[in-house]
Amino acid sequence: MDDQKDIASFRKAIDQLDDDLLRLLNERSKNVVEIGKLKKSAEANAHLHTPRREAEIIDRLTQANTGPFPNEAIRSVYREIMSASLSLEGPQKVAYLGPRATFTHLACLQKFGNSAQYLPVTSIKEVFNEVERDRAHFGIVPIENSTEGVVNHTLDMFIDSNLVIYGEVLQEVSHHLLSKTGRIEDIATIYSHPHAIAQCRNWLETNVPKIPVAEVPSTARAAELSANDSTVAAIASELAGELYGLKVVRSRIEDNVNNFTRFLVLSQKPPERTGKDKTSVMLSVKDKVGALYDLLRPFASNGINLTKIESRPSRRKAWEYLFFVDIEGHVDEDRVKKALEEIKGRCLFMKILGSYPIHS
């Protein structure tokens, strides 16, 4: 009986704390709305979303946290608080490579939360178009996967686009085998996107070698087919299973457990400098002995760390290559400016794609 009284008193205390949280969230929201008004009056086209401020809030709270509430949960909770707050200032429209429940959609939710207005489109080119034509404030596109490598079409779009990279998102890619019944013996066909199939190839060959596997345009489309046919299974995300009412037949069937996709956030305007930034550059070098060495030397001599270098044919001239380079530092830093100025004279083509916060 005493235990029941103790439980009741703790629940009463929790209810009071929840009331306090609700009151404080509304007070916080009123301040956010006032800041939004000041931003709009100061600069008509200013981004309401400010990644530096968001990072400062999360860093301060996680450092001040004494537990037992976990730091990772603080990140998740405040992502949604800030997402809802931004929606009060104005709709944050985000274009992405759809449809819903794909891993690109998950990356959107990780970056902008549930309160943003999402615009699914059918191609990477359309994502660029939506942002270029002011129909979306931001766009999210895949740039590379830890298993499958770089997404060349995204690189190609940057050559002629005026958009800049506003940020990046690292999304864990975890595939589940989903079906209407959740029973592996009911499955006659498995559907998924070609990349998802490739990332689960060993599991499929080992565990369901006799079941045919077919390609569809997206993991979400596979989930949709599964929702309408109990003999069909999909390789898709957990979110896709929830949206289409599917059951998990087998979870985490990807061959590589460290499977991540990196996404880029596109914008017409650059973000503020944060002090923990990276810069992406696209380059084309002259075809001569030592050309790549000459390209990399200024980075080393100026103490700049390269975090990525990727090459691909330029498609404009035989044996001419474009390099996509990520470096630590902001384009406004003197050492970065100096290195890029040295490199510019050695390039056939150079384009700074943007300086933006390093994903943390």
pLDDT, one tens digit per residue, over 284-320 is: 877 777 777 888 889 999 999 999 988 877 666 655 6
Res 322: pLDDT: 83
81-95: b (≥16 Cβ within 10 Å) or e: bbbbbbbebeebbbb
| Residues 155 and 310: beta-carbon distance below 8 Å | yes
What is the enclosing helix (H) or strand (E) of 249?
Answer: strand 247-250
User: pLDDT tier at 228 (50, 70, 90 boundaries)?
Assistant: very high
Active site residue 260: no
Residue with tokens 């301060």: 60
- Mean pLDDT across the chain: 88
Q: Any idea what the Cα angle at residue 160 is, between residues 157 and 162, rounded to 5°?
A: 95
CA-nearest of 88, 112, 109 to 40 is: 88
Q: Is 161 helix (H, G, I), strand (E, B) or coil?
A: coil
Residues with Cβ within 8 Å of 298's Cβ and at least 6 positions away in sequence, in order, are: 338, 339, 340, 342, 343
Q: What structural domains does the chain harbor? A: 2-89 (1.20.59.10), 93-173+260-267 (3.40.190.10), 176-250 (3.40.190.10), 277-357 (3.30.70.260)
Q: Which amino acid is at 174?
A: S
Peptide bond into 99 cis (omega under 30): yes
In 3-state terms, what secondary structure has residue 70? coil
For residue 61, the one-letter residue type is L
Whether 261 is catalytic: yes
Query: Is residue 43 very low, low, confident or very high in pLDDT (cuts 50, 70, 90)?
Result: low
**Residue 338: is it exposed, middle or buried by C-beta count within 10 angstroms (0-12/13-18/19+)?**
middle
| Active-site residue, from 263, 299, 323, 324 | 263
pLDDT digits (tens, 9 = 90+) for 73-121: 888 898 888 888 878 877 789 999 888 888 899 999 989 988 899 999 9
Tokens of 103: 């891993």
Q: Is the dihedral of CA 221, 227, 232, 237 positive or negative?
A: positive
Highest mean pLDDT among 33-42, 83-92, 341-350: 341-350
Q: At residue 247, what is the residue type?
A: K
Buried b (16+ CB within 10 A) or exposed e, 284-296: bbeeeeeeeebbe
Instruction: Cite the beta strand spans of 92-182 per DSSP E.
Output: 93-97, 117-121, 138-145, 149-150, 164-172, 176-179
Q: Average pLDDT of 157-162?
A: 90
For residue 321, what pLDDT is reported? 75
10 Å Cβ neighbour count for 206?
Answer: 9
| CA separation for the pair 224, 229 (Å, rounded) | 9
In DSSP terms, 277 is beta-bridged to: 357
pLDDT score of 186 more than 90: yes
Which pLDDT value is given to residue 98?
83
Q: What is the model's pLDDT at position 48? A: 62
What is the identity of the amino acid at 5?
K
Q: How far is CA 110 from CA 78, 93, 191, 358, in A?
A: 11, 15, 26, 15
Q: What confidence score (pLDDT) does residue 65 get? A: 92
Mean pLDDT of the 229-236 span: 96
At 149, is the pLDDT very low, low, confident or very high (cuts 50, 70, 90)? Answer: confident
**Active-site pick, 104, 219, 261, 279:** 261
Strands 164-172 and 176-179 turn out to be unpaired
Q: How many CA atoms lie within 13 A of 86 on its CB side?
A: 25
Q: How far apart are the first and last CA of the chain?
A: 48
Cβ-contact 141, 127 below 8 angstroms: yes
Distances, alpha carbon 322 to alpha carbons 124, 155, 309, 311, 356, in Å = 19, 9, 10, 6, 21
What proportion of the chain, given as a percentage, has pLDDT over 70? Answer: 94
185 secondary structure, DSSP code: G
pTM above 0.85, yes or no: no
Phi first, then psi: give them for residue 234, nearest 5 degrees: -125, 145
